[in-house]
Structure 1
Amino acid sequence: MNAFVPILHSKSALTPVDLESASGPVDVVLSEEALAAVKHGHAFVAASLRDERPVYGSTTGFGPLVVFDGRESAAEQCENVLQHLTVGQGPDLPPEVARAAVLARLWSLSRGVSGVSDTVVHALRRMLQAPFAPAVPTLGSVGASGDLVPLAHVVQALRGVGHAYVDGVRMPADEALARAGLDPLRLDGRDALGLVNGTSVTSALAGLATASLQRSQHVAVGLVALLADLLGAAPAFLAPPLLAAFGHPEVVTVGAELSSWLAGIDPSPDRPLQEPYSIRCTPQLLGAARSAIAWSSEVITRDLNGVSDNPLFFPEEDLVAHGGNFFGQPAAFASDLLSIVATQIGNLAERQVDLLVDPHRNGGRPPMLSTSPGRQHAIQGMQVLATSTVVAMRRCCTPAAMQSVPTNLHNQDIVPFGTQGALTAFEQARSLRLLHGCLGVALRQAIHTGSRRPTARRCADLAAALADQIAPIEQDRPLDEDIRTAADVLDRHVAETATA
Structure 2
Amino acid sequence: MPISLPGPLTADDLHAAAAPIPVDVPAPVRESVAAGRRFLAESRDGNTPIYGQTTGFGALVGYPGRATDADQADNTLAHLGAGQGPDLPLPLVRAALLVRAGSLARGRSGVSPHVIDALAAALGTDFTPAVPRYGSVGASGDLIPLAYAAQALRGRGHAYLAGERLPAAAALEKAGLTPLTLDGRDALALVNGVSVTTAALALAQRAVRRSHRALQDLTALLADLLGCDTQFLDARLIAAYAHPGAAVVAARMRERLAGVRPSGTRPLQEPYSIRCAPQLLGAAEDALSYVDTVVMNDLRSVSDNPLLFPGEGVVHGGNFFGQPAAFAADLLAAVTAQLGTLAERQLDLLVDPARNTGLPPMLAAGPGQQHGLQGVQLATTAFVAQLRRDATPASVQSLPTNLHNQDVVPFGTQAALRAYDGAGLLHLLCGSLALGLRQAAHAGARQPTAAACAALLDRLEHAIPPVDPDRPLDADVRRAADVTAEFFLNRAA
TM normalised by structure 1 equals 0.97
Aligned match of 2:369: 375
Unmatched segments (≥5 aa) in structure 2: none
Q: Note if 1:288 corresponds to 2:283.
A: yes
- Counterpart selection for 2:76 from 77, 81, 96: 81
Over residues 331-390 of structure 1, what are the superposed CA-to-partner deviations in whole Å (9 max), with x where a residue is unaligned?
A: 000000000001100000000110011001111100000111001001101100000110
Counterpart of 1:8 (choices 4, 7, 21) is 4
Deviation at 1:160, TM superposition (A): 1.2
* Pairwise CA distance, 1:29: 2.0
Moved more, 225-234 or 169-178: 169-178
2:59 maps to which residue?
A: 64
Q: 2:477 aligns with which of 456, 474, 483?
A: 483
Instruction: Quote how far apart the aligned CAs of 1:58 are.
Output: 0.4
CA–CA distance in structure 1, aligned partners of residues 488 and 411 of structure 2: 34
The reply to whether residue 416 of structure 1 matches residue 410 of structure 2 is yes
Distance in 1 (alpha carbons) for counterparts of 2:3 and 2:44: 34
1:404-449 Cα shifts (integer Å, max 9, x gaps): 0000001000000000000000001010000011111111000000
Equivalent in the alignment of 1:305: 300
Task: Choose the corresponding residue for 1:438, options 432, 437, 456.
Answer: 432
The one-letter amino acid of 1:183's match is T
Q: Which runs of 5+ in 1 are unaligned?
A: none
2:108 maps to 1:152? no
Residue 265 of structure 1: CA displacement?
Answer: 0.8
2:111 to 102, 109, 116: 116
- Secondary structure of residue in 2 paired with 1:85: coil
Query: Offset of 1:494 from its aligned partner?
Result: 2.6
Which residue of structure 2 aligns with residue 330 of structure 1? Answer: 324
Cα separation, 2, equivalents of 1:159 and 1:451: 60
Q: Distance in 1 between matches of 2:280 and 2:252?
A: 14
After superposition, the C-alpha distances for 1:1-37 in whole angstroms (9 at most, x for unaligned) are xxxx4112365x2111211011011122222221111
**CA-to-aligned-CA distance 1:299-353 (integer Å, 9 cap, x gap):** 1210111011001100131x11011111100000000000000110000000011
1:389 is aligned to 2:387? no
Written as runs of structure 1 = structure 2, the 5 A alignment for 1:151-170 is 151-170=146-165
Q: Is the 8 A contact 1:218 1:494 kept in 2?
A: no
Give the 3-state SS of the residue equivalent to 2:48 in structure 1.
Answer: coil
Is 1:125 matched with 2:120? yes
Task: Check the 8 A contact 1:134/1:154 in 2, yes or no.
Answer: yes
Note closer, same or farther for the CA distance 1:95–1:451 as it changes in structure 2 (3 Å cut). Answer: closer
1:237 to 2:232 alignment: yes
Shift of 1:194: 0.6
Q: Distance in 1 between matches of 2:111 and 2:67?
A: 19
C-alpha separation in 2, matches of 1:436 and 1:144: 34
CA distance in 2, matches of 1:249, 1:219: 19
Residues 1:451 and 1:44: Cα distance change in structure 2 (over 3 Å) = closer
Residue pair 2:434, 2:484 contacting (<8 A) in 1 also: yes
> Which of residues 175, 180, 185 is equivalent to 2:175?
180
Contact 1:215 1:495 survives alignment (8 Å) = no
Change in Cα spacing, 1:30 to 1:385, as seen in structure 2 (3 Å) is same
Q: CA deviation at 1:273?
A: 1.1
The equivalent of 2:400 in structure 1 is 406
Query: 1:448 — aligned with what?
Result: 442
Q: Which whole-Å CA distance do the structure 2 matches of 1:419 and 1:474 have between them? A: 44
What is the identity, as a one-letter code, of the residue corresponding to 1:6?
P
Which residue number in structure 2 is paired with residue 44 of structure 1? 39
User: What is the rounded CA distance, in whole Å, between the counterparts of 1:478 and 1:451 in structure 2?
Assistant: 23
Provide the rounded CA distance (Å) in 1 between the counterparts of 2:445 and 2:27. 64
Shift of 1:400: 0.6
**C-alpha separation in 1, matches of 2:17 and 2:164:** 17
Tell me the distance in 2 between the aligned counterparts of 1:388 and 1:188. 49
Partner amino acid for 2:211? S
SS across alignment from 1:320: strand
Q: Distance in 1 between matches of 2:384 and 2:301?
A: 34
Counterpart of 1:106? 101
How far did residue 495 of structure 1 move? 1.4
The residue number in structure 2 matching 1:364 is 358
Aligned residue identity for 2:279: Q
Q: Within 2, Cα distance between the matches of 1:194 and 1:186? A: 13
RMSD value, Cα: 1.0
Shift of 1:451: 4.2
Query: How many residues of Structure 1 are paired with residues of Structure 2 in the alignment?
Result: 493
Corresponding residue for residue 425 of structure 1: 419
Tell me the TM-score normalized by structure 2.
0.99
User: Partner letter of residue 100 of structure 1?
Assistant: A
Structure 2 SS opposite 1:284:
helix
Output the amino acid matched with 2:4: L
* Identity percentage of aligned residues: 55
Q: Residue 190 in 1 paired to residue 185 in 2?
A: yes
Map Cα deviations across residues 176-229 of structure 1 (whole Å, 9 max, x no partner): 111211111111241000100001000000000011111111101000000000
Q: Once the two structures are superposed, what CA deviation does each residue of 1:438-491 show, in whole Å capped at 9, x if it has no partner?
A: 111111000000140111111011001111111101111000110111111111
Residue 315 in structure 1 maps to residue 310 in structure 2: yes
The equivalent residue for 2:269 is 274
User: Structure 2: how far apart are the matches of 1:138 and 1:321?
Assistant: 31
SS of 2:19's equivalent? coil
* Structure 1 residue identity aligned to 2:461: A
3-state secondary structure, aligned to 2:295: helix
Secondary structure at 1:165's aligned position in 2?
Answer: strand
CA–CA separation in structure 1 for the residues paired with 2:266 and 2:20? 52
- Within the candidate set 465, 468, 477, 1:471 is matched to 465
- Structure 1 counterpart of 2:424, which letter? R
Once the two structures are TM-superposed, the CA of residue 172 in structure 1 deviates from its matched residue by 1.6
Deviates more, 1:349-358 or 1:269-278: 269-278
Aligned match of 2:258 in 263, 266, 286? 263
2:453 is the counterpart of 1:459: yes
Cα-to-partner distance string for 1:142-167 (whole Å, 9 max, x where unaligned): 00110000000000111111111112
Please, which moves more after superposition, 144-153 or 43-52?
43-52
Kept after mapping to 1: 8 A contact 2:25/2:117: no
Please give the per-residue CA displacement for 1:246-298, whole angstroms capped at 9, x wherever unaligned: 01111011100000000011110111111111111011000111111111111
* Residue range with higher mean Cα deviation, 302-311 or 184-193: 184-193
Give the conservation status (yes or no) of the 8 Å contact 1:206–1:423: yes
The one-letter code sitting in structure 2 at the alignment partner of 1:125 is: A
